[in-house]
Amino acid sequence: MRSAILNVMANAALKAARGLIRDFGEVEQLQVSVKGPGEFVSTADLKAERILRAELTRARPGYALLLEESGATAGPDQRHRWIVDPLDGTTNFLHGIPHFSISIALERDGEIVAGVVYEPTRDEMYAAEKGFGAYLNDRRLRVSARRQLGEAVIGTGMPFGVRADQPGYVDSLASMMSATSGVRRMGSAALDLAYVAAGRYDGFWEFGLAPWDIAAGILLVREAGGYVSDMAGGHEMMTTGDVLAANDHLHLPLAALIREALRGGRVTRRV
């Protein structure tokens, strides 16, 4: 049984997902057209956001909103704020790669108290409420129990475009490549965090993410028994956009690895 608020969030995600799935089918067709699916995808993204805004506002009229496409809207309720990414993994969507998600978080007094990440193509609904655990559909989630870095599979997001020269990223990647059992880069940070919560990834790191990419995912990881920090080991993920998530055995060694990489000292394999 989901709580009333998680129901609101899950139903909003399901409703927006129906449009995304339809549009994704169209995008697959548009890959071969000369014009490409670019404009069509922007419209799909905006349509999903409009549905989410309408559903969330209808259920909780006074709450403030922070949406990826339309930005911030204040509300008479000073305590609550929705933080929403209507389409995380836009590049995948644009290229017809079926790996994207909808992310919805609820913040109360500056703290994330509920989060939903939905993956439309697999019909996987990740949901968490502070103090009540994290779930994938009806199954309770737990982060992985792996203790050895050498056995760990770690997710990441690679900076691109104007952010491609993110200082230290390539060094952190090189360190992870030699110290772990492998790195994955799948292109939706919200789902990456959900995968840590589900014990699929043993950890995840990325720099420079936006609040809507990570707000729901952070709660999922925490409620699944994992650890989330920024790269300095603090809790400024939502302001710095830098995120390291892992189970509690691996969080410290991964943090050390990234810190050393950022200092310029390559770390070689430790088992």
Identify residue 145 by its one-letter amino acid code.
Answer: A
Query: What is the smallest separation between the CB atom of 249 and ligand 2AM, expressed in angstroms?
Result: 25
- CB proximity list for 174: less than 8 A, separation 6 or greater: 261, 266
Rounded Cα distance between 64 and 116, Å, is 17
Which residue from 209, 224, 250, 257 is in contact with ligand 2AM, where contact means CB under 6 A?
209
Q: Which one among 23, 49, 88, 202 touches ligand 2AM, defined by CB under 6 A?
A: 88
- The three-state secondary structure class of 85 is strand
Q: Is 241 in the site for ligand 2AM (CB under 6 A)?
A: no
- Residue 98 sits in the site that holds ligand 2AM (CB under 6 A): no
Question: Which of ligand 2AM, Ca ion, none has residue 96 at its interface (CB below 5 to 8 Å by kind)?
Answer: none
For ligand 2AM, the closer CB: 89 or 115: 89
**Identity of the residue, 173 or 189, whose beta carbon is nearer to ligand 2AM in the bound complex:** 189
3-state SS, residue 7: helix
Q: Of the listed pieces 117-125, 186-194, 225-233, 246-254, which binds ligand 2AM according to CB under 6 A? A: 186-194
Q: With CA atoms as reference, report the closest residue to 204 among 265, 9, 127, 220.
A: 220
| CB-based burial label for 151 (10 Å; 0-12, 13-18, 19+) | middle
Considering the complex, state which of residue 159 and residue 168 has its C-beta at the smaller distance from ligand 2AM. 159
- Per the DSSP assignment, residues forming a β-bridge with 116 are 104, 127
Residue 119 is a binding residue for ligand 2AM (CB under 6 A): no
Interface segment toward ligand 2AM; rule CB under 6 A; list 124-132, 147-155, 160-168, 227-235: 160-168
Q: Which of 145, 137, 130 lies closest to 249, judged by CA?
A: 145
Binding site for ligand 2AM (CB under 6 A): 85, 88-91, 157, 159-161, 163, 187-189, 206, 209, 213
